[in-house]
Amino acid sequence: MKKIIALSAVTLLLGVAIASAQVENPEKYIELLRSDVSADRVDILTEALELTTAEGEAFWPIYRDYDLERAKLGDKSLAFIKKYGENYTSMSEDVAKDLIHEIADIQGDRIKLRKKTFDKAAKVIPAHKAARFYQVDSAMDQIISLQIASSLPLFK
């Protein structure tokens, strides 16, 4: 539970940093926060999955591939937030529609990626542990999404 609270605090800082344009080099700051979040995710998953040594050897390479793909989706999410911030004060109807379609596509891609990873993991570790990965990872993403969303202003 302490790790989830730490992850929540770091992601809240990430959302605030992104939402406020006061950071001189936001990309560098965001990358530092991301590495902290990534380490916390691995710690939380390690504790939650209770993998044997053999299961860990089979699972963690799958997770590393997943994490690389998840990072690419994170880049798309950051681009969305930046675009939202750039257009916030003068949001046109077309841009608003484009932004919603963009974030919905990212969310759908995130779910597809997690499902694909579950399917791969369930081939090398017990399905109930692969399901636990899906459940815990999904919960962490929901916490992060909620904290970032709550730090962004509503559409005008």
pTM of the model: 0.76
> pLDDT 10s per residue in the chain (156 long)?
455 444 444 454 455 454 444 445 555 545 545 555 667 889 899 999 999 999 999 999 999 999 999 989 988 988 888 888 888 888 999 999 999 999 999 999 999 999 999 999 999 999 999 999 999 999 888 887 887 777 778 887
User: Helix (H, G, I), strand (E, B), or coil: what is residue 152?
Assistant: coil
**DSSP structure class, residue 153:** P
